[in-house]
Amino acid sequence: MAKLYAWFKPIKEAKLRFIHYVLLLYIFFIPLWPKIPFKDVEYTYINIRYEDLFVAFVLFLFLIELLRKKLTLTNKFLKLFVAYWVVVFVSFLIGHYVLNTVPVFNIGLLHSLRRIEYMAPFFVFFAAIENPKQWALLVKSSMWALLLVCIYAMGQKFIGWPAYLTMNPVFSTGMPLNLTEESRIASTFGGHYDLAAFLVLLIPVTLGFVMGGKRRYFFLFLFALLVLAYTASRTSSIAYIVSTMAFLVYKRQWKLGVLVLVISVLMMTFTKDLTNRFMKTFSVRQILVNNKTGEQYISQTTTTKDELPGGSVYVPLTGKGNQVSEADKNRLKDELKLKKQYEQLMATQGGGLAPGQATGAGTMKPEDYQAVSGVVYDISSATRLQVEWPRAINAFKRNPITGTGPSSITEATDNDLLRALGETGFLGFVGLFGTALYLQWILFQTARKHKGLISAVFGGVVFGAGGLMINALYIDVFEASKIAFFVWAFWAIFYKATTFKEDLKL
Residue 359 has pLDDT above 90, yes or no: no
141-164: average pLDDT: 94
Same domain, 289 and 254: no
Does 247 score more than 90 pLDDT?
Answer: yes
Question: Do 277 and 229 touch, CB atoms closer than 8 A?
Answer: no
| Residues of the chain above pLDDT 90, percent | 56
Helices 105-119, 483-497: axis angle to 10 degrees equals: 30
Is there a domain that residue 385 lies in? no
Range of the domain at 302: 280-379
**Average pLDDT of span 229-243:** 92
* Mean local confidence (pLDDT), 434-451: 94
Strand locations in 264-417, DSSP E?
282-290, 296-298, 310-316, 369-378
pLDDT of residue 89 exceeding 60? yes
pLDDT for the residue numbered 353:
47
Alpha-carbon span 317 to 375, nearest angstrom? 7
Phi and psi, residue 487, nearest 5°: -70, -40
Please return the burial class of 104, using the count of CB atoms within 10 Å of its CB with bins 0-12, 13-18 and 19+: middle
Residue type (1 letter), 460: G
In the sheet that holds 282-290, the strands lie side by side as 296-298, 282-290, 369-378, 310-316
Instruction: Indicate whether 46 pLDDT > 50.
Output: yes
Residue 332 lies in a domain: yes
* Inside any domain, residue 258: yes
Q: Are 460 and 207 in contact (CB under 8 A)?
A: yes
Residue 506 lies in a domain: no
Pick 434 or 280 by higher pLDDT.
Answer: 434
8 A C-beta contact, residue 309 and residue 278: no
Least confident of 181-185, 193-197, 497-501: 181-185
Using alpha carbons only, how large is the chain's radius of gyration in Å? 25
Which pLDDT value is given to residue 149? 97
Instruction: Examine the domain organization and report whether 242 and 311 are in the same domain.
Output: no
The residue-averaged pLDDT of 130-157 equals 95
Work out the average pLDDT over 346-372: 55
Least confident of 18-32, 166-180, 241-255, 467-481: 166-180
Q: Is the pLDDT of residue 460 over 60?
A: yes
Residues 160 and 59 in one domain: yes
Give the end-to-end CA distance of the chain in Å, rounded to a whole number. Answer: 23
> What is the C-alpha separation between 402 and 390, in angstroms, rounded?
17
Residue 361: band (very low, low, confident or very high) from pLDDT cuts 50, 70, 90:
very low
d(CA 121, CA 125): 6
Give the span between the Cα atoms of 123 and 137, in whole angstroms: 18
Give yes or no: residues 244 and 305 share one domain: no
Question: Which is nearest to 202 in space by CA: 240, 250, 235, 232?
Answer: 240
Q: Are residues 354 and 420 in the same domain?
A: no
> What is the overall mean pLDDT for the chain?
84
> If pLDDT is split at 50, 70 and 90, which confidence band does 506 have?
confident
Instruction: Assess whether 236 and 331 both reside in one domain.
Output: no
pLDDT at 174: 77
Q: Is residue 312 part of a domain?
A: yes
Reported confidence tier of residue 354, pLDDT bands at 50, 70, 90? very low
Determine the average pLDDT of the residues in 253-257: 95
Q: Do the Cβ atoms of 142 and 217 come closer than 8 Å?
A: no
Per-residue pLDDT, averaged over 93-115, amounts to 92
In total, how many domains does the chain have? 2
403 in helix, strand or coil? coil
Classify residue 183 by its DSSP letter.
Answer: S
Strand partners, 287: 298, 372
Does the pLDDT at position 306 exceed 60?
no
DSSP state of 426: H
Residues 6+ apart with CB under 8 A from 265: none
Query: Domain check: are 155 and 246 in the same one?
Result: yes
Nearest of 412, 393, 413, 411 to residue 403 by alpha carbon: 393
Residue 84 has pLDDT above 70, yes or no: yes
pLDDT at 285: 66
Do 78 and 196 fall into the same domain?
Answer: yes
pLDDT bracket for residue 357 (50, 70, 90):
very low
Q: Is residue 55 within 8 Å of residue 121, measured between CB atoms? A: yes
Half-sphere exposure of 420 (CA within 13 A, CB side): 23
Residue 378 has pLDDT above 60, yes or no: yes
DSSP tag of 178: P
Range with lowest mean pLDDT among 238-252, 308-322, 337-351, 431-445: 308-322
Read off the pLDDT of each residue in 311-325 and give the average, rounded to a whole number.
Answer: 57
- Decide: 187 and 153 in contact? Cβ < 8 Å: yes
pLDDT at 40 over 60: yes
Is residue 262 located within the same domain as residue 286? no
Tell whether the model's pLDDT for residue 334 goes beyond 80. Answer: no
In a domain, residue 502? The reply is no
Residues 102 and 194 in one domain: yes
CA atoms of 248 and 138, how far apart (whole Å): 24
Residue 31: pLDDT band by 50, 70, 90 thresholds?
Answer: very high
| Contact between 445 and 439 (Cβ < 8 Å) | no
Q: Which amino acid is at 365?
A: K
Same domain, 434 and 359: no
Give dist(CA 397, CA 25) in Å, integer: 43
Domain C-terminal end among 379, 413, 439 = 379
Mean pLDDT of 233-239: 91
Q: Are 70 and 190 found together in one domain?
A: yes
- Can you tell me the distance from the alpha carbon of 161 to that of 153, in angstroms, rounded to the nearest whole number? 8
* Distance (Å) of CA 493 to CA 64, 158, 450, 487: 21, 34, 17, 10
Report the length, in residues, of the chain. 506
User: Any bridge partners for residue 372, and if so which?
Assistant: 287
**3-state class (DSSP) for residue 374:** strand
Is residue 339 scored above 80 in pLDDT? no
Report d(CA 181, CA 404) in Å as an integer.
42
Q: Strand, coil or helix: what is 39?
A: strand
Which domain-ending residue is among 350, 379, 408? 379
Work out the average pLDDT over 43-55: 82
Tell me the C-alpha distance between 339 and 449, whole Å.
Answer: 65
Q: Are 356 and 340 in contact (CB under 8 A)?
A: no
Would you say residue 456 lies in a domain?
Answer: yes
Answer yes or no: is 181 within a domain.
Answer: yes
- Count of alpha carbons within 13 angstroms of residue 393, beta-carbon side: 7
Instruction: Count Cα neighbours of 180 within 13 Å in the Cβ-side half-sphere.
Output: 7
pLDDT tens, 1-30? Answer: 555 455 566 776 667 889 999 999 999 999
Neighbours of 282 (CB within 10 A): 15
Write the CA distances from 77 to 41, 73, 84, 113, integer angstroms: 32, 10, 11, 19
Q: Which is more confidently placed, 324 or 290?
A: 290
pTM score of the predicted model: 0.86
d(CA 17, CA 23): 10
